[in-house]
Amino acid sequence: MVVVGGDAAGMSAASQARRRRGADDLEIVAFERGGHTSYSACGLPYYAGDVVKDWRRLVSSRPVNYHLGTIANKQGRVCGINIGGGYATFPGVLGTAVSKICNVEVARTGLSEAELGRLGLGWESATVDSTTRAAYFPGAAPIRTKVLAERRSGRLLGAQIVGREGAAKRIDVFATAIWNGMAVDEMVNLDLSYAPPFSPVWDPVLIAVRKLSEQVERNLQDCL
């Protein structure tokens, strides 16, 4: 059953239909223009968690499915606020994630090249190798950073990181930038912290966006 418009009347009708047919026999899909659907008079359960399709914020605006506890907790908070009589909406996700395989850390946020290709978007990419600390400092380890930006506008679309200890959490800088719609040229002069035990003078994040910014500008000039 398809409900167009998530107001109370439409959802109440859907609830009655489900009671007559049975929850296992009738799937209900509601299309709502806004980010908030009224469940006040319909008796339908709230579904929130990491198995609910979310809107990928500011990038593709298409439904995605991530099994992540961070998303589940945030959706649960929104659900609780609305059940308690308040108003809250879930703004979407970027797919930010980190993991560790033995001594190798991996991280990603936003869109990958494969995803961009399926969406038909034009992009530029840059990959840089650096170290997690100042190269001369004990414990400095390799880190590879890949960044993706929209062709011409330079808007950051995605990033991936792989490296040793201290690499993965740098992905949060990229996630924050994508969330706020930043372009790579705006990121070049971000005032990130520095000390030899934690980063080179030019953090790998800044090296990557500087390289990509120059590439975007160079390709833009070639098109003029």
Q: 113 with 196, same domain?
A: yes
Q: 107 with 218, same domain?
A: yes
| pLDDT of 184 | 96
Instruction: Flag whether 135 is in a domain.
Output: yes
Rounded-to-integer distance, Cα 55 and Cα 99, Å: 23
To which residue do tokens 């390799």 refer? 142
The pLDDT-based confidence of 41 (bands split at 50, 70, 90) is very low
Mean pLDDT, range 31-44, rounded to an integer: 53
Residue-averaged pLDDT of the chain: 84
Q: 40 with 107, same domain?
A: no
Q: 128 with 51, same domain?
A: no
Q: 107 with 134, same domain?
A: yes
Residue 64: name the closest of 107, 25, 119 by CA.
119
Pure H helices in 6-136:
8-21, 69-83, 113-119
The pLDDT-based confidence of 64 (bands split at 50, 70, 90) is confident
| pLDDT of 215 | 93
Rounded-to-integer distance, Cα 169 and Cα 184, Å: 19
Is it the case that residue 70 has pLDDT exceeding 60? yes
Higher pLDDT among residues 86 and 101, named by residue: 101
Question: Which parts of the chain are beta strand (E)?
Answer: 2-4, 29-31, 54-55, 63-64, 97-101, 104-110, 123-131, 142-150, 156-163
Highest mean pLDDT pick, 1-5, 90-94, 152-156: 152-156
Instruction: Flag whether 161 is in a domain.
Output: yes
Mean pLDDT, range 114-127, rounded to an integer: 90
Q: 203 with 123, same domain?
A: yes
Looking at 83, 108, 128, the residue that finishes a domain is 83
Instruction: Flag whether 173 is in a domain.
Output: yes
Mean pLDDT, range 195-220, rounded to an integer: 94
pLDDT digits (tens, 9 = 90+) for 189-203: 999 999 999 999 999
Rounded-to-integer distance, Cα 158 and Cα 35, Å: 24
| pLDDT of 152 | 87
Per the structure, the complete domain to which residue 76 belongs is given by: 2-83
Instruction: Flag whether 90 is in a domain.
Output: no
Looking at 83, 108, 137, the residue that finishes a domain is 83
How many structural domains compose the chain? 2
Q: 78 with 115, same domain?
A: no
Q: 144 with 209, same domain?
A: yes
Mean pLDDT, range 66-86, rounded to an integer: 85
Rounded-to-integer distance, Cα 70 and Cα 52, Å: 13
Residue 30 main-chain phi, psi, to 5 deg: -110, 130
pLDDT digits (tens, 9 = 90+) for 130-175: 999 999 999 999 999 999 999 989 999 999 999 999 999 999 999 9
Looking at 20, 53, 83, the residue that finishes a domain is 83
